Amino acid sequence: MDHSTSDCQLNPGEVDYEFESNEVPEPLSVVDDELVPKVGMTFTTLEDAGKFYRNYAKAAGFSTRVRCTNRKGNEIKNQLITCSREGKWKSKISPTEKTNPTAGLNCPARIYIHTLKDVGAWIISKVVLDHSHPCCPSKAKMLKQHRELSMSIRHTIENNEEAGIRPSKTYQSFVAAVGGHCELNFIEKDVRNYITREKIPSKLNEYKGHADIEQEMSQVVWNSHSKDSFDRNWNDFLLNFGLVDNKWLSDLYEDRHIWVPIYLDHHFWAGMRSTQRSESMHSFFNKYITRNSSLIQFVKQYDNCLGSREQAERESDAADFHTVIPCATKSSIEAQFQDAYTHAKFREVQAQFRGKANCITRLKNSALGYSVYEVGEQVSSSIFNKFVVTYDSVAAEVKCQCLLFESRGILCRHALSVLSFEQVSQVPPRYILERWSKKVKR
């Protein structure tokens, strides 16, 4: 709770709200009239007033926070409670480095409560119901304020932790007990956070052997920008670690055309690795079954698997709906992706906008709206990679030698550098793939 002594009262014209959201505010969801705060409502305690507003917020589809509290000595005189998306916070972290979502949208929704003299009660004296953003009651239960662990739930978590039962198993037991994820008022992350916060287990990091070799090999495989550079880097890697005669690596190199990304860039693979599907499947089912599980157990756990995946999507959708990841640059193209993509995919796109700072663009030739650029990228203090990028201003089409868009569906930093050079403010719809849109209904 903020114990600021600044004036909380809402005087006419005191705050000038400039809504910067691209979304058009929707009408407030239909809420039972008994839950809607009104001027003149009285409460026995300040806590009762705050709880009433929180219950209304959950029904309407948003969360709240205490904006300021005025005191006279140790006695509270009044309090301002706002929508959690009130304000437009300036982070101490540079915009070029900040990737955590932010909720601030200058939302004006709030209530003002003050104490009644000589009565000992609390009264709502001012109410603003309108929001600067859409509200979604069905997603409200995913907001942190509306999630809670009861004492019995906490006790069960502690007992299971002491018995060595994994958090995912503990959470699934709660899901099974109530009949589904939607019946719980908390998520698996809350269980894990409680264990971390309360138990603080001391765990030693396990280090893989030959970590340097694995790291260097990963650099060669993922950071080689052409087939020739991969061949050079691979040979240097073998020489540096004395692995020239290693048969397994030799066989691996012979099959490079079926597993090295640079050899597969002419295919669209959405960023997936050749083994990612099986690895993901194994990791997913390991939460529910073991190698000793029977077929009957597998069938019983199958619904739990699907329910868990559906719940994870609901949590991600709620985060996409209620928060925004700040742009790292002033680019209107980045803002275009910010508005369209889910948080997870926008972070990948944003990495390319950050990488654009290491690129130098030079026009080689241009004719009839078709231009050829050379983009130099500094990847280390002594290494510059060069990429050829073409731009057709008539067709509004950009193509880079690295083929990142063709293989992963993301515009690369080299192409973005050229678009910036050409002063392009918006990319055509074909560069914004619907598969990663936050507006897709699953």
Q: What is the pLDDT of residues 18-64, one digit of tens each?
A: 333 344 344 445 788 889 999 999 999 999 999 999 999 999 999 99
Please state, in angstroms and rounded to a whole number, the distance separating the CA atoms of residues 283 and 302: 14
Structure token pair of residue 300: 């019983």
pLDDT of residue 10: 46
| 28: CB partners within 8 A, 6+ apart | 60, 129, 130, 131, 135
Please state, in angstroms and rounded to a whole number, the distance separating the CA atoms of residues 212 and 188: 35
Helix (H) or strand (E) holding 217: helix 211-223
Helix (H) or strand (E) holding 375: strand 370-378
Which of 43, 140, 30, 41 shows the shortest CA–CA distance to 85?
140
Q: Are 63 and 145 within 8 A, CB to CB?
A: yes
Q: What mean pLDDT, rounded, does the chain reach?
A: 80
Helices vs strands, H then E, count in the chain? 15, 9
pLDDT-based confidence at 302, cuts 50/70/90? Answer: confident
Does pTM surpass 0.75? no
Q: How many whole angstroms from its chain centre is CA 277?
A: 22
Q: Which range in 68-77, 140-149, 246-255, 325-334 is most confidently predicted, on average pLDDT?
A: 325-334
In sequence order, the β-bridge partners of residue 400 are 389
Model confidence pLDDT, tens digit, residues 78-104 = 999 999 888 765 555 555 555 666 666
Please state, in angstroms and rounded to a whole number, the distance separating the CA atoms of residues 312 and 145: 18
Please state, in angstroms and rounded to a whole number, the distance separating the CA atoms of residues 271 and 283: 18
- Higher confidence at residue 273 or residue 191? 191
Q: Are 398 and 418 within 8 A, CB to CB?
A: yes
Please state, in angstroms and rounded to a whole number, the distance separating the CA atoms of residues 419 and 361: 10
Q: What is the mean pLDDT of residues 315-327?
A: 83
Strand 75-83, strand 64-72: pairing: antiparallel
H-state helical runs in 246-390? 247-254, 261-264, 276-285, 295-322, 332-340, 343-355
Q: Are 333 and 426 within 8 A, CB to CB?
A: yes
Beta-sheet strands, E only, within 56-169: 64-72, 75-83, 110-115, 122-128
What helix, strand, coil percent values describe the chain, rounded to 5? 45, 15, 40
Q: What is the mean pLDDT of residues 393-398?
A: 94
Q: DSSP secondary-structure letter at 378?
A: E
Other beta carbons within 10 Å of 315: 16
| 422: CB partners within 8 A, 6+ apart | 371, 391, 393
